[in-house]
Amino acid sequence: MIKNIVFDIGRVLLDYQPMEFLKSVGIGETEGMHLNEIIFKNDLWLQLDRGIITKDEAIRKYCTLSPLHTDSIHQIMNTWPDMLTLIEGTSELLRELIAKGYHVYLLSNFQEDGFNQVYNKFTFLKEVKGKVISYEAKLLKPEKEIYIHLLEKYDLIPEETVFIDDLKENVEAAIELGIKGIVFESAKKTREELCSMGVDA
């Protein structure tokens, strides 16, 4: 019987589209493609998620990598959480599951500054029973240790737990530990898959 349901945040609960965000703040396509690679696809972003460098340290390193774009880098790093918007249906699903007595958790790769902003902005995130965020744990999905940390922190039984993530490799890592998994495509499809597992969704 499923008792615990674990949600990723980015592209499951909140949408995350860097190129659209860069365009919305007035950055042209060519510069946007460059800055997307320099910032969001750089190992420094993963170091921020792992919590081993600060935002200020990352900004200094980004500016060293791209000295002609320092103003844009500062702008992006100070405003990027604004790009996160609700994905239709998933926050409602999360709240319905809580109301029905399921234990709902968050497991997400997220850096400290950005997480604090979205956690205060999207109050439904505070309604869950618990959370493991990468910068706090100093671990990243799909490393098996972050799933083990979640299980141990909240005394969860893998077979009673479902993990929902938009990336197949993150879900597969959970399944290897006995956790059931759903690769997120939409709230509607996730609801259907939860029902197929016996969840009252």
Q: pLDDT (tens digit, 9 = 90+) per residue, 17-33?
A: 999 999 999 999 999 99
Backbone conformation region of residue 107, classed left if phi is above 0, alpha if psi is from -120 to 50, else beta: beta
Helix, strand or coil, per DSSP, at residue 52: coil
- CATH placement of domain 4-15+84-196: 3.40.50.1000
Asked if residues 37 and 138 have their Cβ atoms less than 8 Å apart, the reply is no
Asked if residues 145 and 139 have their Cβ atoms less than 8 Å apart, the reply is yes
All structural domains of the chain with their residue ranges: 4-15+84-196, 18-83
Predicted confidence pLDDT, tens digits, the chain (201 residues): 999 999 999 999 999 999 999 999 999 999 999 999 999 999 999 999 999 999 999 999 999 999 999 999 999 999 999 999 999 999 999 999 999 999 999 999 999 999 999 999 999 999 999 999 999 999 999 999 999 999 999 999 999 999 999 999 999 999 999 999 999 999 999 999 999 999 999
DSSP 10: B
Q: What is the DSSP string of 92-122?
A: HHHHHHHHTT-EEEEEE---HHHHHHHHHHS
Q: pLDDT (tens digit, 9 = 90+) per residue, 146-179?
A: 999 999 999 999 999 999 999 999 999 999 999 9
Residue 11 half-sphere exposure, CB side, CA atoms within 13 Å? 12
Helix, strand or coil, per DSSP, at residue 61: helix
